[in-house]
Amino acid sequence: MLQQFILMAPQGGAQGGNPIMQILPLVLIIVVFYFFMIRPQVKKAKDQKKYIEALKKGDKILTIGGIYGKIVEMRDDATVIMEVEDGTKMKISKNAISQDASATLNQNA
């Protein structure tokens, strides 16, 4: 048992090694993390910002809270007047708009 432990012990001359080979796994992890986590989130945020800027009167929307409605009025103070199914009007923030509801409503019909 003691002989096996001595054989598996690191050798004295191999302590330094190649510093690039020691850093390479960390760099690879960071690159993979960037391409699979950070980059898609940044792209999604840009697309959401473009969508919110392109909203206009009459668009059917879905809010973050799950409320479907139609834009009745766009205001300059980053708010929107939205009309829901029974004719009720709600004032919401543009940032509370999640997505276009036309595609979702057509799927459910």
Summarised one tens digit per residue, pLDDT across range 44-79 is 999 999 999 999 999 999 999 999 999 999 998 889
Contact 34, 74 (CB under 8 A): no
- The ranges assigned to domains in the chain are 20-54, 56-108
Summarised one tens digit per residue, pLDDT across range 1-10 is 555 555 555 5
For domain 56-108, which architecture applies?
Answer: Roll (2.30)
Quick one: which H or E segment has residue 27? helix 19-33
Predicted model pTM: 0.64
Quick one: which H or E segment has residue 45? helix 39-53
